[in-house]
């Protein structure tokens, strides 16, 4: 009985360690990308300047280029802990430095300094993410990765919920300095579970003698059969991301206020994704990620299809709320299976590099689909866009069926 209790305690400590690290990445990033836009617009900063905030996302796109350096350095659990703790402390320090400026009173004069500090902070956060992903892969058994990736998804969605929702309201009451100082402390406190977790051990030992090099980035794409995984990553989120990118303008045209849109998308929608990520991890663990990627692809197709019918009428608030919860909930489930699938397509000794490349592919596709969705909606209307995205989601579902059917032939 004691051994069962100890095993359960160890499992909780393991999952808590990674949930804390992932939510520590997400909360500040979500807050900065949202709060800066709001504060700048309140001070009548031109939209052309506000548009420069998009560069804050670049570290999470280009992190793949320095991921081989992380794999090269990190050879032991201690190395990973040093890398994660070091990156997190730099992250916290840069956030604290940003708090020293009075954003709400002297924004025009300090904008470039604050932008530079936050950019560097997100570089540190992206570095922490590479090391955390690699550590998660190397310390987990394949059957554990469903729940492990639930923690990753819940950390991401929970961070978005807090950063772009709750903290935005706190900012209004307490100001920039108080919120950012608390954020820097939050990032440090998130290290506590990792610091005290002494049970982390590698589940797979690397037989590769040569350490990772910069050429490993390119070699990822030359692996036998990897094209199947890349096509899956490109297709899987397409329908969902397209609708999410155009959802707020769609609601504006349905005459919803900014407050209502913020609540339904930022709180209700993100909350649904956060909640559904956990059972998704359990299902992936029980039935395997290959079965569940097909099941979740079907759910995402139905979610996109629901917006085709919504666009043909003026839906009630209740109907729209259900559709938003369905949309975001399916996205939460899909993210778990994407992360789990990515973990199964990494080379030994190159875990951080390979996993990062795959997540960057999904980020890039999100950017492309968001841009194309706006263009399609302009010429074909919302119904035309949603039909197009539903066809893409159906193609994703069919492709997962094809992957499962042809798996034994490889």
Residue 306 sits in a domain whose CATH number is 1.20.1250.20
Q: Are residues 41 and 85 in the same domain?
A: yes
Q: Are residues 185 and 41 in the same domain?
A: yes
Question: Can you tell me which residue has the tokens 């997190």?
Answer: 88
- Most confident range (mean pLDDT) of 53-67, 151-165, 251-265, 322-336 is 322-336
Q: Are residues 242 and 351 in the same domain?
A: yes
Q: What is the pLDDT of residues 271-306, one digit of tens each?
A: 999 999 999 999 999 999 999 999 999 999 999 999
Which domain, by its residues, includes 318? 216-410
- Most confident range (mean pLDDT) of 246-250, 259-263, 333-337 is 333-337
Burial class (CB in 10 A: 0-12, 13-18, 19+), 169: exposed
Number of domains in the chain: 2
Q: Are residues 54 and 20 in the same domain?
A: yes
Reference 364, options 241, 192, 263; nearest CA is 241
Per-residue pLDDT at 154: 92
Per-residue pLDDT at 257: 83
* 241 pLDDT above the threshold of 70: yes
Of 63-77, 103-117, 290-304, 321-335, the range with the lowest mean pLDDT is 103-117
Reference 14, options 3, 6, 25; nearest CA is 6
Q: Are residues 6 and 130 in the same domain?
A: yes
Q: Which whole number is the average pLDDT over 377-385?
A: 91
* 92 pLDDT above the threshold of 80: yes
Q: Are residues 187 and 271 in the same domain?
A: no
* 53 pLDDT above the threshold of 80: no
Residue-wise burial string across 318-342, b where 16 or more C-beta atoms lie within 10 A, e elsewhere: eebbebbbbbbbbbbbbbbbbbbbb
Q: Copy the structure tokens of residue 204.
A: 């797979």
173, part of any domain? yes
Q: Are residues 244 and 306 in the same domain?
A: yes
Element (H, E) at 59: helix 58-62
Q: Distance between CA atoms of 280 and 270, rounded to whole angstroms?
A: 15
pLDDT bracket for residue 2 (50, 70, 90): very low
Q: Are residues 92 and 50 in the same domain?
A: yes
Per-residue pLDDT at 83: 95
Of 166-170, 362-366, 394-398, the range with the lowest mean pLDDT is 166-170
Q: Copy the structure tokens of residue 57.
A: 């996302």
Spatial neighbors of 359 by CB under 8 A, at least 6 apart, are 133, 339, 342
Q: Are residues 110 and 227 in the same domain?
A: no
Q: Are residues 38 and 124 in the same domain?
A: yes
Q: What is the pLDDT of residues 146-167, one digit of tens each?
A: 888 899 999 999 988 888 778 8
Q: What is the pLDDT of residues 16-38, one digit of tens each?
A: 999 999 999 999 988 888 777 77
User: Coil, helix or strand for 139?
Assistant: coil
Q: Are residues 57 and 130 in the same domain?
A: yes
pLDDT bracket for residue 193 (50, 70, 90): very high
23, part of any domain? yes
**Cα separation values, 20 from 144, 164, 187, 288, 331, Å:** 18, 18, 9, 25, 21
Q: Copy the structure tokens of residue 301.
A: 């197709």
Per-residue pLDDT at 106: 64
Q: Where are the alpha helices (DSSP H) in 100-166?
A: 103-138, 145-161
> Which of these three, 135, 166, 197, is where a domain ends?
197
Give the rounded percent of residues in the chain with a pLDDT score beyond 90. 47
* 190 pLDDT above the threshold of 80: yes
Q: Distance between CA atoms of 142 and 256, rounded to whole angstroms?
A: 45
Q: Is 192 left (phi over 0), alpha (psi -120 to 50) or beta?
A: alpha
HSE-CB for 7 with a 13 A CA cutoff: 4
206, part of any domain? no
Q: Are residues 159 and 229 in the same domain?
A: no
Q: Distance between CA atoms of 131 and 81, rounded to whole angstroms?
A: 9
**Cα separation values, 88 from 152, 185, 233, 314, 359, Å:** 17, 11, 29, 47, 20
Per-residue pLDDT at 409: 53
């Amino acid at each position: 009985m004691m051994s069962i209790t100890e095993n359960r305690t160890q499992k909780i400590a393991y999952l808590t360690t990674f949930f804390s690290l992932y939510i520590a990445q997400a909360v500040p990033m979500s807050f900065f990308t949202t709060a800066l836009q709001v504060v700048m617009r309140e001070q009548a900063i031109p939209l052309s300047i506000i548009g420069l905030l998009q560069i804050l996302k670049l570290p999470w796109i280009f992190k793949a280029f320095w991921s081989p350096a992380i794999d090269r350095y990190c050879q032991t659990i201690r190395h990973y802990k040093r890398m994660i703790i070091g990156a997190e402390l730099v992250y916290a320090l840069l956030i604290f430095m940003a708090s020293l400026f009075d954003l709400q009173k002297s924004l025009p004069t300090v904008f470039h300094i604050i932008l530079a500090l936050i950019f560097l902070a997100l570089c540190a956060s992206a570095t922490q993410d590479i090391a955390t992903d690699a550590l998660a892969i190397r310390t987990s058994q394949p059957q554990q990765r469903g729940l492990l990736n639930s923690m990753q998804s819940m950390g991401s969605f929970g961070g978005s919920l807090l950063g772009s929702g709750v903290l935005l309201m706190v900012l209004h009451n307490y100001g920039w300095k108080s919120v950012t100082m608390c954020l820097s402390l939050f990032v440090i406190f998130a290290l506590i579970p990792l610091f005290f977790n002494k049970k982390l051990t590698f589940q797979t030992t690397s037989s590769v003698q040569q350490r990772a090099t910069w050429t490993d980035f390119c070699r990822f794409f030359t692996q036998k059969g990897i094209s199947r995984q890349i096509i899956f990553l490109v297709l899987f989120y397409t329908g969902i991301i397209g609708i999410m990118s155009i959802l707020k303008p769609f609601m504006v045209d349905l005459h919803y206020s900014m407050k209502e849109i913020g609540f339904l998308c930022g709180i209700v929608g993100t909350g649904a994704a956060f909640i559904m990520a956990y059972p998704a991890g359990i299902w992936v663990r029980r039935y395997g990620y290959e079965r569940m990627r097909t099941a979740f692809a079907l759910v995402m197709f139905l979610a996109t299809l629901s917006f085709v019918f919504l666009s043909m009428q003026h839906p009630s608030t209740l109907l729209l709320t259900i559709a938003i919860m369905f949309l975001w909930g399916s996205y939460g489930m899909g993210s778990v299976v994407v992360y789990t699938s990515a973990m199964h397509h990494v080379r030994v000794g190159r875990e951080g590099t390979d996993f990062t490349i795959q997540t960057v592919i999904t980020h890039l596709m999100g950017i492309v689909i968001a841009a194309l969705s706006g263009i399609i909606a302009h010429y074909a209307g919302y119904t035309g866009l949603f039909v197009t995205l539903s066809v893409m989601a159906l193609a994703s579902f069919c492709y997962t069926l094809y992957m499962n059917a042809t798996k034994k032939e490889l």
